[in-house]
Structure 1
Amino acid sequence: MKKVLFFGYYGEGNLGDELLLKNLIDKFSERFLVGALVSKKKETENKIILFDRIRELLKAINWADVVIGGGGGIFQDKTSLHSFLYYLFILWYALLTKKKVYIIGQSFSPLKYRISRYLLKITLPHCGKIYVRDSFSYQFLQNLNVPKDKIKILPDIVFLTQFPDVRRDKENIGINFRPWDELKIEDLEKILKELLKENRKIIFFSFQDSMDLELFKKLDKEMIKEIEVVSSNSDNFWEKFSTCKYLVGMRLHSLILSTIAGIPFLGISYDEKIQAYLDDLGWKYYINTNEISDFYPLWIKLKEEEEILRSYLKIITEEKRDILKREIEEFIESL
């Protein structure tokens, strides 16, 4: 049986990335031995072998027959040049040791450093198929002169997630904020002030506790005292999420989960991957980080078109899920 190794931002407590890995395991473990590089090893099902992303990096790649960059936006140098080079090293070593190398479910966006762009440009053409999750990434790779026949657009792998059918009244407002240099605490408090006027229960969903919860604690204490907080590690995360009538979110996977659940959302676009998702979705209900004053009129418009938007999101989810199932099955068959 072939051995497939996945690498990504796994084991860091980011809900979106953990869902990416879970879906990949579910799809690939029926036909392959599956391994993953993670930052924190923990007990798991027999479906997967976990390797420490630092101490066992070379061991993991040597173990594998196929190495796959599995979802996310890991090839970026905005937050860390070090992590960008780490992920590139995985590609280099895997290619050097004659492994089959693929990338699936990735976002690509403009890089901060010229050297990053150059290294990516000379590396990616040596990989096999590269599945990107939005049109922006597709165009970016074409601009790097990655052969067109290597690149294909594929919806985010999180769309494969099957959530429990929780039948609850949708009465609450969900929110997700994450730290970002261009967005001030006061700006987020302005949004909260408007939402508190709704006289609905507000639930803050943390998608990465080490960042989102820390930001939440910095908000005005009087404003947040009645807001329920749901951690990414909570057993009832989806149950709580499914009670939301609307969502205001920053993180990409807060918007994707809203799409899957048919929850009309107002996005806060802070990065190219957010904008790319919204553009591909054909979604006009978002503000940029420098447009906080536009929140309220857009929020009113969102509520007015709630039922139309809810139906649209459900149709889109089925379409994306069908494409994913078909394309991943074809990819698995080709390995």
Structure 2
Amino acid sequence: MNKALISGYFGFGNIGDEAIKIVLRKELSSLNVYPQFLVKEVKEAGEIKRDNLWDIIRGVVTSNFVISGGGGLLQDRTSSRSLYYYLSILILAKIFKKKAFIIGQGIGPINRNINRILTKITLNKCDLISVRDGASKKLLEEIGVKKEIFVTQDLSFLYEIEFLKKDLSHTQYNILQVKGRENIDIEEMADIARLMHDKTKEETVILPFFRNVDEPFAREIEKRTGFKVLVKDNVDEVLTIMNSAHIIVGMRYHSLLFSILLQKPVLPIFYDNKMRNLSKFFELDGIDIDKLNLPNFSKAFDTLLKNEEEIKKRIKDKLPIAKAYARKNFDLIIKYIS
């Protein structure tokens, strides 16, 4: 059996990244590959503490190949330190003569010139690069990556949604999925939550995806509106809540992706290009975060309500294509390890 060491943002409580981890474990195991994940804290077999250098080196040495992915790991929007960490794992792989794969990632933004140079040097040594959208490929080509770059889709499109029970603890509701640490006026967001209720006569449920970052912001909206915050750390529990919703307004990338998986009418709020790229693939309209105010939201929300059946049909038609592109990530892995 082959072994793979996998770096990603695992164990921090971000629902999207935990979905990616579940997909990687299942799909790699089906290829007779034993995955070892770098995580914040070790909780089960097949995990290595991500800040323990010697355990990481041991994991690289005992693996047949190293995977970086998926999600948006290679970027310096949050910090350069994060970018250096993920590049260093790939460099370690090459030092110990292991294959290094970048799988299903959304790349960027990478703004600092030194970060672009380091990314170019590192990725030109990788054996396989697949990215989840054309914009990521374009960015890598712009910074000088010469390796072949495959355009696939986010790994979470392969998340297996089995039977999801209906959430019967609420009457009909809509979801406002919020993202913390953005420059958004809290009063404006409270007004948006109220407007969703007023226009549909349905409850607004506020849903964080990343407890430590999103929940404080969500609680401030709850305090001002009385609308309930639901905090779940399990992917299936989050999907169950979303599956029972009527309309979803999403600020995080995987809230948009999960809405698409569930074929729900969704209004994305674009905080960076990865949201725009996914929305473009499914021909979905959204609102730029810097233009988010009550009048603009009201207009976009009215359009969504008017066209929700058409939106659901568009999603249904394009979803099999997205899933096929996501599957391509693992087809490429098979090719490159054989």
* TM-score scaled by length of structure 2: 0.91
- Report the 3-state secondary structure (helix = DSSP H, G, I; strand = E; otherwise coil) of the residue aligned with 1:219: helix
For 2:220, the aligned partner's letter is: K
- Report the 3-state secondary structure (helix = DSSP H, G, I; strand = E; otherwise coil) of the residue aligned with 1:4: strand
Hey, what does 1:161 align to over in structure 2?
Answer: 159
| Residue range with higher mean Cα deviation, 267-276 or 16-25 | 267-276
Give 1:310 deviation, angstroms.
Answer: 0.9
Change (3 A) 1:167 1:313: farther
- Report the 3-state secondary structure (helix = DSSP H, G, I; strand = E; otherwise coil) of the residue aligned with 1:127: coil
* TM-score scaled by length of structure 1: 0.92
* Overall identity of the aligned pairs, in %: 28
For 2:297, the aligned partner's letter is: F
Could you tell me whether the CA contact under 8 Å between 1:135 and 1:280 is conserved in 2?
no
- Report the 3-state secondary structure (helix = DSSP H, G, I; strand = E; otherwise coil) of the residue aligned with 1:244: coil
Hey, what does 2:203 align to over in structure 1?
Answer: 201
Give 1:228 deviation, angstroms.
Answer: 4.4
Could you tell me whether the CA contact under 8 Å between 1:287 and 1:295 is conserved in 2?
no
1:185 aligns with 2:183: no
Could you tell me whether the CA contact under 8 Å between 1:202 and 1:228 is conserved in 2?
no
Give 1:257 deviation, angstroms.
Answer: 0.2
For 1:316, the aligned partner's letter is: K
After superposition, the C-alpha distances for 1:14-45 in whole angstroms (9 at most, x for unaligned) are 1100110110111111311211111111135x
Give 1:215 deviation, angstroms.
Answer: 1.1
How far apart are the structure 1 equivalents of 2:149 and 2:29? 25
Give 1:243 deviation, angstroms.
Answer: 0.6
Hey, what does 2:323 align to over in structure 1?
Answer: 321
For 1:81, the aligned partner's letter is: S
For 1:200, the aligned partner's letter is: E
After superposition, the C-alpha distances for 1:303-326 in whole angstroms (9 at most, x for unaligned) are 111111112112222221123225
Hey, what does 2:5 align to over in structure 1?
Answer: 5
Give 1:301 deviation, angstroms.
Answer: 0.8
Give 1:140 deviation, angstroms.
Answer: 0.4
Change (3 A) 1:102 1:326: closer
| Residue range with higher mean Cα deviation, 204-213 or 231-240 | 231-240
Hey, what does 1:129 align to over in structure 2?
Answer: 128
1:105 aligns with 2:104: yes
How far apart are the structure 1 equivalents of 2:316 and 2:9? 28
After superposition, the C-alpha distances for 1:233-292 in whole angstroms (9 at most, x for unaligned) are 386332221111110010000000000101111111111221222223322233433332
How far apart are the structure 1 equivalents of 2:61 and 2:240? 41
| Residue range with higher mean Cα deviation, 62-71 or 35-44 | 35-44
How far apart are the structure 2 equivalents of 1:25 and 1:193? 40
How far apart are the structure 1 equivalents of 2:49 and 2:3? 17
Hey, what does 1:139 align to over in structure 2?
Answer: 138
Give 1:87 deviation, angstroms.
Answer: 1.0
Hey, what does 2:80 align to over in structure 1?
Answer: 81
For 1:285, the aligned partner's letter is: G
Hey, what does 1:119 align to over in structure 2?
Answer: 118
Could you tell me whether the CA contact under 8 Å between 1:23 and 1:160 is conserved in 2?
yes
After superposition, the C-alpha distances for 1:197-230 in whole angstroms (9 at most, x for unaligned) are 132122222211111111112226140x232413
How far apart are the structure 2 equivalents of 1:235 and 1:144? 38
How far apart are the structure 2 equivalents of 1:235 and 1:137? 29
How far apart are the structure 1 equivalents of 2:165 and 2:221? 32
Could you tell me whether the CA contact under 8 Å between 2:13 and 2:211 is conserved in 1?
yes
Change (3 A) 1:267 1:172: same
Hey, what does 1:291 align to over in structure 2?
Answer: 292
- Report the 3-state secondary structure (helix = DSSP H, G, I; strand = E; otherwise coil) of the residue aligned with 2:246: strand
How far apart are the structure 2 equivalents of 1:132 and 1:303? 33
Could you tell me whether the CA contact under 8 Å between 1:28 and 1:332 is conserved in 2?
no
Gaps of 5+ in 1: none
- Report the 3-state secondary structure (helix = DSSP H, G, I; strand = E; otherwise coil) of the residue aligned with 1:37: strand
For 2:12, the aligned partner's letter is: E
Hey, what does 1:239 align to over in structure 2?
Answer: 240
Change (3 A) 1:229 1:254: same
For 1:263, the aligned partner's letter is: K
